[in-house]
Structure 1
Amino acid sequence: MQASHDDDAPGTWTAQGANHATRAQRITGVVAIVLLALAGLWTLRMFLPALGWGVILAVSLWPLHVTAAQRWPRGQKLVLPAVFTLLVLLVFVIPLVMVAAAVAHDSMAVTQWLAQAHAQGVPVPDFVAHLPYGDHLVAWWQQTLATPEAIDRLSMQAHKLHFTSGEKILGLVAHRVLLVSFMLLTLFFLMRDGARVAHALRIGTRRAFGELGLRVADQAVLAVRGTVNGLIIIGFGEGVLMGLAYGFAGVDHAALLGLLTALLSAIPLGAVAAVVLAAALLAAAGKAAAAVIVLVFGGVVIFVADHFVRPVFIGGATRLPFLWVLLAILGGIETWGLIGLVIGPALIAVLMLLWREWVGAHQGPLNPAPEASLPQ
């Protein structure tokens, strides 16, 4: 082994001789490395969500950091990482905390309403009878929701509704604060040392998988960046705008509906369902003019976001068909939790790239040799 002048730089140590390890020794070494990696992940399992979100945010913000570092090279080791971390805190964390507080308040009201509905049933609203096929809707409502017995038949787990104790809420809040703190800390160090980390990962990926591995890794980075920028940030913006619109229009539980709009906006046409729901609640309360305004404003916001803003943020490399976006988001959340909102589309985007290369639709390492034309 021989080292250059910078012993810490990735790739400066290179093997000068052949590896004389036997096949059994190589297999044993690989098994030991895998076991050590699994042990490390198990040790850090409590903080993996925080580390994952820190990596995701760093990947998403890295192009902006590079541009800022080119204009101000002196600040790239301390000032710029601190500025970007503070930016995430001010733009995402603090607004999310405020939304979470409002949602918690609304959720308590909703939980109380559900508990009351479980005890007394939900009477049929007057406007239902005036809707098309109102008599059938009234009959269905009376059979399904009007009595406690009907609600029990609808949901066998209705008896599990309960209020979370104050001590448990404080424990959950303290745990979330700890995870957010480590996420911000991870983001700071990645913004400071991101170039070195990325260089080391590229060297390791090339040694392990060759150019194909680098191609897949680059696509994964683009997929994560496109998912964060195109789904989460745009969805967050839609949720904030529509939440404010709901509040001004007088919709009950505006914060909860705003959060629902933000979450559903990741799914194609999902935000439309949330806007229609808010307008329906306004119409049921006798506020027809406000319902129309919410529908029109929501339509404009969704149209601009889906047709102008989101395509610019996502880019062509990570676009997925409607069905795959839906399956990737829902499957990702089901499998990985909230972070699956990013992991799911990123994984499917990488798999889609490999498939398109394999069938020769895109240029890449997996492109098959041209097949001879079939006889006519």
Structure 2
Amino acid sequence: MNHKLTPGRLLAAAIVVLSVWIVHDFIEALLAACVTAIASWPLYAAFRDRLPSRIGKSAGAAIFTGAMTVFVLAPLLFACWALLSEAHALLLGLAAADSQGIGVPEWLANAPVMGPWLAARWQSQLVNPGALLLLTQRTDPSALLGWAQALGQFTARHALIVGFAILLLAFFYREGASLKLELNRGLRDAVGDRAQPYVDIATRAVRASVNSMLVVALFDGLAIALAYTIADAPRALLWAAITGSLAAVPFLGYGAVAAMAVQLALKGGPTTALLSLLLGCAVLITGDKLVRPMVASGGMRLPFVWVLMGCIGGFGVLGLTGVVIGPVALTLAWELWEQRVREPRR
């Protein structure tokens, strides 16, 4: 095979580099669309086979893209809306209590070690009517403005990523079959027949990682519903649904558990709050550290600890998509090690 650098090859490489540089801000959207298309392709193929012939390829892709968008985004939107509603209700309750003065909770005064000190601080700053409002008025307006601006930029950026991911997903569904053939042909020309096994491994790994996210969300939702019922927490099913919806993404579920515990503590239920916090964190740790790697390892030849590191490390580098991409990359690296280093030695 001739790999000599020619002006044509250099020009092609320059065009590729320029194209990647132009679209690098949309890499997250591209990866999210690729992962979703690969993971759901068997479902899409079955859906497409059952569509009437009068419905074209573009219409079928658009219909299935809409269904996948609802399936993926609806739980997250529900969880965010429910958390905002709970936060709004809590703020209204605090405002009503502040108008009459917020008394020191009995459990806080009786808490060991830091309890008396915290009770004294509470007594000096929050007992008088309007004290909480006065504290908020002392907050630096520029800091609040900066926080609001950062939140707005974060929301706008991720809304843009989601929008382009949906558009790209429809394109992948419509052109997926031809793209697969062209990719396989290009890899075969560049690498040889050795490329196909790696494509198959990556495909299985992507689907196993996505399946692990769905299983973890379901496991956490059901287990936390049971845990909150044991802890006698109010609206256990609602909070379990919120936590399960967020738990597909590593670490987001802990925010819901913490919010539940804070709400219970402020309403005067410290024992229930502490028990809910401990049980909720135990369930989330089990889901992230045991259930997710166990399910993902079913489609990968990776040891347990490597699947775990791939999920956590990928999330840190690429966000939500990295939960899938991380284990896939480590799976391919493991396969290369097996075939290029370990097998020849044997």
Aligned pairs for 1:173-188 (under 5 A) are: 173-188=155-170
Q: Does 1:234 align with 2:215?
A: yes
Matches of 2:150 and 2:286, distance apart in 1: 41
CA gap of 1:314–1:64, structure 2 versus 1, over 3 A, is farther
1:35 maps onto 2:14 in alignment: yes
Provide Cα deviations, 1:107-128, integer angstroms capped at 9, x if missing partner.
Answer: 89999xxxxxxxxxxxx98658
Distance in 2, Cα, partners of 1:337 & 1:79: 31
**1:59 paired to 2:38:** yes
Task: Please tell me whether residue 93 in structure 1 is matched to residue 73 in structure 2.
Answer: yes
Residue 44, structure 1, aligned to residue 20, structure 2? no
Q: CA deviation at 1:57?
A: 0.6
Which residue does the alignment assign to 1:249? Answer: 233
Cα distance in 1 between the residues matched to 2:145 and 2:234? 27
Q: Distance in 1 between matches of 2:286 and 2:150?
A: 41
Alignment correspondent of 1:368: 344
1:200 Cα deviation from its structure 2 partner? 0.6
Indicate which of 168, 177, 186 corresponds to 1:204: 186
Cα deviation code 1:229-249 (max 9, x no counterpart):
212x23444565578786993
Give the C-alpha shift of residue 317 in structure 1.
Answer: 2.9
Counterpart residue type for residue 70 of structure 2:
L
Tell me the distance in 2 between the aligned counterparts of 1:326 and 1:309: 8
**2:64 aligned residue:** 84
Match of 1:115 in 2: none
Question: How far, CA to CA, are the matches of 1:368 and 1:164 in structure 2?
Answer: 58
SS in 1 for 2:194: helix
User: Which range is displaced more, 159-168 or 38-47?
Assistant: 159-168
- Decide whether the 8 Å contact of 1:329 with 1:344 is kept in 2: yes
Deviation at 1:301, TM superposition (A): 9.9
Kept in 2: contact 1:224–1:343 (CA 8 A)? yes
Task: Please tell me the residue identity of whatever aligns with 1:53.
Answer: A
Identity %: 26
What's the counterpart of residue 146 of structure 1? none
Q: Distance in 2 between matches of 1:214 and 1:266?
A: 31
| Whole-angstrom distance in 2 between the partners of 1:290 and 1:304 | 21
Cα separation, partners in 2 of 1:211 and 1:239, compared to 1, 3 Å: same
Separation in structure 1 between the aligned mates of residue 249 and residue 151 of structure 2, nearest angstrom: 28
Question: Which residue number in structure 2 is paired with residue 334 of structure 1?
Answer: 316
* Deviation of the 1:76 alpha carbon: 7.0
How many Å separate the matches in 2 of 1:265 and 1:178? 21
Q: Distance in 2 between matches of 1:48 and 1:130?
A: 53
Q: CA deviation at 1:80?
A: 3.4
Deviation (angstroms), 1:275: 6.2
Q: Distance in 2 between matches of 1:310 and 1:213?
A: 26
* 1:215 and 2:216 aligned: no
1:225 maps onto 2:199 in alignment: no
Distance 1:244 1:234 in 2: 15
Offset, 1:60 = 0.7
Q: For 1:220 and 1:345, how far apart are their aligned partners in 2? A: 10
Query: Does the 8 Å contact 1:235/1:263 carry over to 2?
Result: no
C-alpha distance 251-319 of structure 1, shift in aligned 2 (>3 A): farther
Q: What value does the CA root-mean-square deviation take over the aligned residues?
A: 5.1
Q: Which string of whole-angstrom CA distances, capped at 9 and with x for unpartnered residues, describes residues 340-360 of structure 1? A: 222212111221222233455
Give the structure-2-normalised TM-score: 0.66
Residue ranges of structure 2 left out of the alignment (5+ in a row): 92-103, 120-139
Cα distance change, pair 99–267 in 1 and its aligned pair in 2 (3 A): closer
The residue correspondences of 1:134-153 to structure 2 (distance < 5 A) are 134-135=112-113
Q: Quickly say closer, same or farther: Cα 1:105–1:38, change in 2 above 3 A.
A: farther
| Contact 1:223 1:346 (8 Å CA) reproduced | yes
CA contact (8 A) 2:250 2:288 kept: no
**1:105 & 1:176 partners in 2: Cα distance?**
21
- Structure-2 separation of matches of 1:339 and 1:237: 19
Question: Structure 1 residues 302 and 79 mapped into 2: Cα distance closer, same or farther (>3 Å)?
Answer: farther
Shift in Å at residue 42 of structure 1?
1.6
Cα deviation for residue 44 of structure 1 reads: 1.3
SS in 2 for 1:368: helix
Q: Give a deviation string over 1:91-116, Cα, whole Å, max 9, x none.
A: 222332333344456789999xxxxx
Which deviations, in whole Å up to 9, do the C-alpha atoms of 1:312-344 show, x marking residues without a partner?
x64623264343233222322222233222221
For 1:286, the equivalent position in structure 2 comes to 269
Gaps of 5+ in 1: 1-17, 112-123, 143-158, 361-366, 371-376
Task: Name which of structure 1's ranges 77-86 and 240-249 shifts more when overlaid on structure 2.
Answer: 240-249
Structure 1's 64 and 165: CA in aligned 2 closer, same or farther, altered over 3 A? Answer: same
The number of aligned residues is 313
CA distance in 1, matches of 2:147, 2:109: 40
Stretch of structure 1 that moved more, 33-42 or 53-62 = 33-42
Q: Which has the higher helix share?
A: 2
Whether the 8 Å CA contact 2:314–2:323 is kept in 1: the answer is yes
Separation (CA, whole Å) in 2 of partners of 1:272 and 1:101: 17
